Amino acid sequence: MLIKEIFFILSTSTILIVNVFIMPVISDEPNEFEERATLTQRRQMGGASKLNRAKLEPLKATASDGDKEGGTSGRIVVWVVAVITVAAAAYFGIKSFVNKPATENTTPTVAPTVEPTMSIAEQIMDDTVKADSQASNVKVNSAFVTTNQTVGKASTTAEYTLTDLTVQKYETFTRFNFTLSGAMTTPTVTGVVDPFPVITATYDKTNNTITLLFTQMASNVSAFTTADSVAIGTPNIDSLTHDISVPADQEKYVIELSSQAGYVMQVVTASNLLIVDVKDIKPVATTVVPTTVAVTGTVTVSPTVRPTVTVAVTPASGSSTEFSKTSQSITSTLSTNTFQLISGYNYGVTHFTSSNGETYNNMLTYQKQFSGTVYPNVDAQLDGTTLTINIHNYATANMAKQTVTFPTNPSVTHLEAQVTNHVLTYTLYEVTAKDYRIIFDMDHQVMLLQVRN
């Protein structure tokens, strides 16, 4: 558009130049017809009916008409060529200037730096699995339960803010840390000022969830404030979900489990920290040196079971019972409540060949590690299709019922474990009555409950 406007200005200027400079030149030439009277004019002149030839003067010698016309035309051509030349030069010069790339006084455009956006999981969770010894305030195994729990105290004046939320994985449990700020402005009825609001944990065994409900909340400035779900991905924990369908003065988080798992909730007042630890029971990698006893045979765990184990039917150090459907018992010298099964278990379908060549496929082996140097007192009985095994001298006084299912076993559907008055009771539910036995291998601190098909 700029070039067109300039060309328009040049064209207009050219027309003005022609009108101002060239036309006057043309108009200044004398017109011979204006100087010579026509015959008609002379006839109309008054007082002279005839031409007085004596009074006529001879015409002066002037430049020929051709020369006059030639000179005038030449000057016109020169002026026009000059104007066109100037206009063309100006046009191409301006066009070249306009189209010339701007290389001077230019500042390079720098693209803005875009910071990568971190997901909620990256902000709150460390995928590094740490050793249990690196965690502080770890509760004993018996503290992990599947019942509802509550911490904090109620107040009508306090307001709290959830300032931080983190998730840390450990070898045998996963920890959820909730940091709060704010404290009660007036004492409770007991006269104690508690730095935490009422926080309840509801365990749903049907849906395998632990729901955490925070009350008296003013705000949430943690990294997890949206209605979203973060995958945890541990053996027992699927995800953590923030549920915003609660009143404005509440915060709700749901821990979704893949199977039932005990948990414990505690507060660390000095750090304004609420800790929720959820048990992650993992298979214990145990390698047992086989001891073949020709009289009774051996049990070999198939390669698909974690871990692969070969165990002597009668351990070199420890005690065991024989396969039968009758009542069984193991008598020990242990008289104190010090026997403790530690975190971790393994179960699988095994293959058993007895000394007389009998083969038993799909035998269930439930294996668990224990601590201590002396095996406990045990009694067991099979009542119809329900097998009950009582392990006495247990270190933990009481523990809520926990359930383990065996989806791949054709004989036993599931197992329930519960501690009452230092007695650990295993209840196995069978499809039909089967032979069973109990083994305590002290050399490797392994307990096995076996039911063969």
Query: What secondary structure letter does DSSP report for 22?
Result: I
The whole-angstrom distance between residue 156's C-alpha and the CA centroid of its chain comes to 37
* Cβ pair 271, 163 in contact under 8 A: no
Give CA angle at 182 (176, 186), nearest 5°. Answer: 130
Q: Say which residues have a Cβ less than 8 Å from residue 375's Cβ, sequence separation at least 6.
A: 318, 319, 330, 332, 334, 339, 440, 442
Q: How far is CA 343 from the centre of its chain?
A: 30
Report DSSP letters for 281-330, one per residue.
Answer: -------------TTT-EEEE-TTSSSP-EEESS-SSEEE--SBSS-EEE
Is there a contact between 390 and 380 (Cβ–Cβ < 8 Å)? Answer: yes
Q: Within a 10 A sphere around the Cβ of 255, how many other Cβ atoms? A: 25
Q: Where are the domains of the chain?
A: 122-279, 298-451
Choose among 375, 388, 389: nearest CA to 341.
375
The pLDDT tens digits along the chain (453 residues) read 555 565 566 566 666 665 655 555 555 445 444 445 555 555 555 544 455 555 555 544 444 555 555 556 666 666 676 667 766 766 666 666 556 565 555 666 776 766 667 889 999 998 899 998 999 999 887 788 888 999 888 777 778 899 999 999 998 899 999 999 876 544 444 555 556 889 999 999 888 899 999 998 999 999 999 989 999 988 889 999 999 999 999 999 999 998 778 899 999 888 889 999 998 864 433 333 333 333 333 333 333 333 333 444 445 567 888 888 889 988 888 888 888 886 555 555 555 554 445 555 557 777 777 777 788 899 999 888 899 999 998 888 888 888 877 776 667 888 888 999 999 998 988 877 788 888 888 777 788 888 877
**Second CATH level (architecture) for the domain 122-279:** Sandwich (2.60)
Asked whether 124 and 230 are in contact (CB, 8 A), the reply is yes
For 378, half-sphere exposure in the C-beta direction (CA atoms, 13 angstrom radius) is 25
- Closest C-alpha among 119, 197, 85, 182 to residue 151: 197
DSSP string for residues in 348-415: EEEEEE-TTS-EEEEEEEEEEEEESSS---EEEEEETTEEEEEE-SBS-S-EEEEEEE-TT-SSEEEE
H or E, element range at 7 = helix 2-17
Confidence at residue 388, expressed as pLDDT on a 0 to 100 scale: 93
* 3-class SS of residue 176: strand
Question: What one-letter code names the amino acid at 392?
Answer: H
Cα of first residue to Cα of last residue in the chain, in angstroms, is 95
Total-model pTM: 0.44
Helices and strands of the chain, counted as H and E runs: 6, 25
122-279 shares its CATH topology with 298-451:
yes
Q: What is the pLDDT of residue 311?
A: 42
pLDDT in the model for residue 413: 81
308-314: long-range contacts (C-beta < 8 A, 24 or more apart)?
A: 309/367, 311/439, 311/441, 311/446, 311/448, 312/288, 312/441, 313/439
Q: In the CATH scheme, what is the code of domain 298-451?
A: 2.60.40
Rg (CA), the chain: 53
